[in-house]
Structure 1
Amino acid sequence: MIDSSNWQTFVELLKTALKTEPLGMKAQKEMAPLPDVSQRFDRESAKKARQSAVMILLYQEQDKIKFPLIVRPQYPGVHSGQIALPGGKYEDDDSDLIYTALRETQEEVGVDINEVEVIGQLSELYVPPSNFNILPVIGLLSKAPQFILEEKEVEELVTADINVLNDKSKRKQKQMTFYSGLNVDVPYFDIEEKVVWGATAMILSEFATIINNINIKK
C-alpha cells in the first residue's frame, strides 16, 4: 500500500524506475481489448499516425496519492464518452510531446504547467481506431490542485487512488460493442464505478506494473 506518508520515498523510487527500459507491450497487453492487439503494436502504423501525449499527474490528498482522469463528452467520434487521462494531439507550436501533455493538461483541467515536475514517461501506444500514437508522461504536483474543467472537452473529473491499479478486485472484464459493431471482450479498471478501458487502461497497466515493482523493492 502506497500513501502520502511514504510520498518522498515513492517519488525517488519512481524516478529511478522510469529511467530504466520501458516495460512496453508485455505490461500494456494485460489490459488490451481483444481481438485487436496486433494492430496496437504495429510500429509502422504508429510512425505514420498523428502524435499525441497524455499525463499521469500525481499528487497527495487526504493521505492518498492520486491522479486525475477525465470523462469525455458525447460527440460523433470513436472515443465519445470514454474515460481518459488529460491530454491531446501534438500542435505545431509545441516544442515536443512532453510540452503537449503539459499544455493539454492545463487546458483540460486547469493545472498550471509551471507547477508540474515531469519525471519521466512510459512506452508509447498506438490507437488504431483514431490513428493516434500516444506518449504517456508522468508528472508530479507538490500539493493537491484546484481543478478547473474545460467544459467543451471534459464532462466530469474522476480522481483515482493509485492503489486501485494493483487491486485485483478492480480489474474486471465485460463484453462491449465497438464503433465498428464488433462485440469484444474488454478488460477494464473499475475506478470510482467508472469503466476505464482501451488505451487508457493499457497505459495504466504499465504504470501499475512499475508501482508493483517498487512495492517489491521496498
Structure 2
Amino acid sequence: MNSTPHWLTALADSAGTMPVPHPMRPPETGGRESAILILFGEGPQGPDLLLIQRNHGLRRHAGQPAFPGGRIEAADGSPEAAALREAAEETGVDPAGIDVVGRLPELYLSYSDFRVVPVLAWWREPCEVRPVDLGEVAAVSRVPVADLAAPENRVEVRYGEGPRRGPGFRVGGMLVWGFTGAIVDSLLVLGGWELPWRREGLTDMFEATPHGLRPVG
C-alpha cells in the first residue's frame, strides 16, 4: 500500500487556512452545495492530479478541464462522500483506494451559484480511469504536477474587457483555466512547486468569452 506522503499532509495543513480571493468568497447564505475531489497520485513523473475534461455539449462550463465533482446529495452525508461518489461516477475511480487528507476553504462560483468544498485526497491504490458518464465527461487525465509547474506551460487568461486576469496551464492537450486554474495555481504555491515564470508582457494570452477561450494578439 502507498501511504500518504509527508508533502501532502503538509500541503493539507497549509491549504486548510489558505486565503480565498474576494471573487471566490461564498455569500453568507444561498448557493448550491457541491464538492470536488482534488486527487493526488504518484505517477512516472512524480506527483500528479486527476482532471476531467467536460463534454462540449454541456450548458455550463462546456469543454473545460475540471476536477471531478458535483452536487452534494442528501444521501451523501458529507462533502467528502459526495466528492468520492461523483469522482467514481465520472471517472470510474475506486473510492476504496483513496484516503481523504483534508479540505480547502469553501469557494464560490458566482456564474453557476455553486458553493464548492474542495476535498484533498491521496490515491493510495491507483486504478484505471476513463470517462464513465459520457454525457458529462469527454476525457480523463492524470496530469503531472511537474508539467503544471513548468513555466513554458503557463499562460494568462483575460476575463472580458476589464483588468481581471487568471492563470492558465497548457497540459495534456488541454488548457486548464478559470476556477480550476485558480485552484491549481494555489496548490503549486502551497506545495512549493511554483517556478519563476514571465507574468508580464506575455505574448501567449487567452481571453475568456461566453463560448470558451480565444487567443489574444
TM-score, normalised via structure 1 length: 0.77
Cα RMSD after superposing both structures: 2.8
Give unmatched runs, 5+ long, in structure 1. 1-6, 30-37
**Aligned twin of 2:169:** 189
Q: Secondary structure at the match of 2:96?
A: helix
Match status 1:199 vs 2:194: no
Q: Distance in 2 between matches of 1:114 and 1:85?
A: 19
Q: 1:212 is matched with which residue? A: 192
- CA–CA separation in structure 1 for the residues paired with 2:151 and 2:47: 18
Higher relative CO (Cα under 8 Å, sequence separation at least 6) belongs to 1
Corresponding residue for 1:24?
Answer: 19
Provide the C-alpha distance between the structure 2 equivalents of 1:184 and 1:63, rounded to a whole number of angstroms: 33
Q: Is the 8 A contact 2:38 2:118 kept in 1?
A: yes
User: What letter is aligned with 1:14?
Assistant: L
Report percent identity of matched pairs. 26
**Distance apart, 1:152 and its partner CA:** 1.8
Asked if structure 2 preserves the Cα contact closer than 8 Å seen for 1:61 and 1:144, the reply is no
Higher-strand-fraction structure: 2
Using a 3 Å threshold, how does the CA distance of structure 1 residues 76 and 19 change in structure 2: closer, same or farther?
closer
1:190–1:148 CA distance, 2 compared to 1 (3 A):
closer
Q: Which moved more, 1:185-194 or 1:150-159?
A: 185-194
AA of the residue aligned to 1:205: D
2:27 maps to a residue whose letter is: R
Distance 1:80 1:48 in 2: 24
> Number of residue pairs matched?
192
Tell me which of 22, 25, 40 is aligned to 1:41. Answer: 25
Task: Select 1:160's aligned residue among 126, 129, 143.
Answer: 143
Q: Secondary structure at the match of 1:60?
A: strand
In structure 2, relative to structure 1, the CA distance for the partners of 1:63 and 1:161 (3 Å cut) is closer
Runs of 4+ with >6 A deviation: 181-184
Distance 1:165 1:43, change over 3 A: farther
